[in-house]
């Protein structure tokens, strides 16, 4: 039995194909300006008995492909629990939102918090700031970790923070120190969300921003405890959707 999960996010689309519960294939592409077309190209040639969609573009996919859908909250909870059976808390920082999910002992969603009204504290915020500082998104966290000092960023609003960063650069201040200050501002928001939920057992950091080593370190330092990052953190939502697709066969 083969099932697939597709996570149509604001910045990228991920596909995971399972056969009898084991990962057979992983694929990823940029979302671009036509998410449905990109999703179609990703599943082209993929053979499966059922595909389930999640992510912000799941409703488009549901209508076009007559496929079942699942919320990101449930998909991420399911994917994380499969990878880390002891996990009770999930942090996902995606392109356009961030969320914290608390799981009960059986892996069911107990409660969650979500920031989806502002770019602050999301991957998009870091992407914009990286561009303003002349860093690639991939290298942003590594560069921030090399800072010799840190500059406080007073605004978390993307528009005002962008203006503040431009002003700091114009003054000739160290770009890496500015980058570290930006990362810490995002980390503080994530930690605040995490602390509003009870932190039990293992904490798993998923989503594309989990690749950012600076964010990972700042979160661990702030919480004074280890945080697990899966091997392919950006695939967790698609994995969860593929696992849940079994229920719709």
Structure tokens at 222: 């702030």
Model confidence pLDDT, tens digit, residues 115-163: 866 667 788 889 999 999 999 999 999 999 999 988 888 776 777 788 8
Give me the pLDDT at residue 116, please: 61
Model confidence pLDDT, tens digit, residues 152-207: 887 767 777 888 888 898 899 999 999 999 999 899 989 999 999 877 789 999 99
- Answer yes or no: is pLDDT of 48 > 70: yes
Fold matches, 1-84+232-249 and 86-229: yes
Cα Rg of the chain (Å, integer): 18
Domain coordinates in residue numbering, the chain? 1-84+232-249, 86-229
> For the domain 86-229, what is the CATH code?
3.30.420.40
- Answer yes or no: is pLDDT of 244 > 90: yes
Structure tokens at 239: 């994995």
Domain 1-84+232-249, CATH class in plain words: alpha beta
Structure tokens at 157: 């609003």
């Amino acid at each position: 039995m083969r099932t697939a999960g597709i996570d149509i996010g604001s910045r990228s689309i991920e596909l995971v194909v399972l056969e009898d519960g084991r990962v057979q294939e992983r694929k990823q592409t940029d979302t671009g300006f036509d998410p449905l077309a990109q999703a179609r190209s990703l599943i082209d040639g993929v053979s499966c008995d059922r595909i389930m969609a999640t992510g912000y573009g799941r409703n488009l996919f549901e209508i076009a492909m007559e496929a079942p859908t699942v919320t990101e909250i449930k998909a991420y909870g399911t994917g994380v629990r499969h990878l880390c059976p002891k996990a009770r808390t999930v942090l996902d920082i995606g392109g356009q939102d961030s969320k914290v999910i608390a799981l009960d002992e059986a892996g069911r969603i107990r409660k969650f918090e979500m920031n989806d009204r502002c770019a602050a504290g999301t991957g998009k915020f870091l992407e914009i700031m990286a561009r303003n500082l002349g860093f690639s998104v991939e290298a942003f966290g590594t560069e921030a970790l090399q800072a010799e000092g840190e500059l406080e960023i007073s605004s978390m609003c993307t528009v005002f923070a962008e203006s503040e960063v431009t002003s700091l650069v114009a003054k000739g201040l160290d770009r890496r120190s500015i980058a570290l200050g930006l990362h810490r501002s995002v980390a503080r928001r994530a930690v605040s969300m995490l602390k509003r939920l009870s932190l039990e057992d293992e904490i798993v950091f998923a989503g594309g921003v989990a690749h950012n080593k600076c964010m990972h370190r700042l979160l661990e330092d702030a919480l004074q405890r280890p945080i697990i990052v899966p091997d392919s953190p950006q695939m967790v939502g698609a994995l969860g959707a593929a696992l849940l697709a079994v229920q719709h066969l």
